[in-house]
Amino acid sequence: QVQLVESGGGLVQVAGSLRLACEASGLTFSSSTMGWFRRPPGKEREFVATITWSGGSTSYADSVKGRFTASRDDAKNTVYLQMNSLKPEDTAVYYCAAGITFLPVAHMERVGRYDYWGQGTQVTVSS
């Protein structure tokens, strides 16, 4: 049984930082592409970042480039999302996802490319 468990969300002030973590179990983590998505209040789920199975390639949504960084520790089966310079519009439920099909990183910005999802963690940025 595959499980993805996010942690690290919370309430932070504008310009602050948070680091989200997602620990995976039940899958071959080292060969999975890991993604981060978010659902802002009243909106659809949207792509945030992805990091390939080797950690060699990453991709980010334009809205977070230069502020967010995805990384992974295969020894811990964990993927991270470091979020800096947070803005009120970053407020959302953040989800991690695992994709087990080998695809170029550019293909991994779609929700449908992922096979497993976590339950989400709330991030609230107050102004």
Of the CA atoms within 13 Å of residue 5, those in its CB half-sphere come to 7
Residue in 66, 67, 31, 27 with CA at minimum distance from that of residue 51: 31
pLDDT in tens, 38-55: 999 999 999 999 999 877
In Å, what is the CA distance from 79 to each residue of 8, 33, 67? 12, 10, 17
pLDDT along the chain (127 residues), means of 10: 96 98 93 95 97 87 98 94 98 97 88 96 96
pLDDT of residue 51: 95
> How far is 104 from 16, CA to CA, in rounded Å?
32
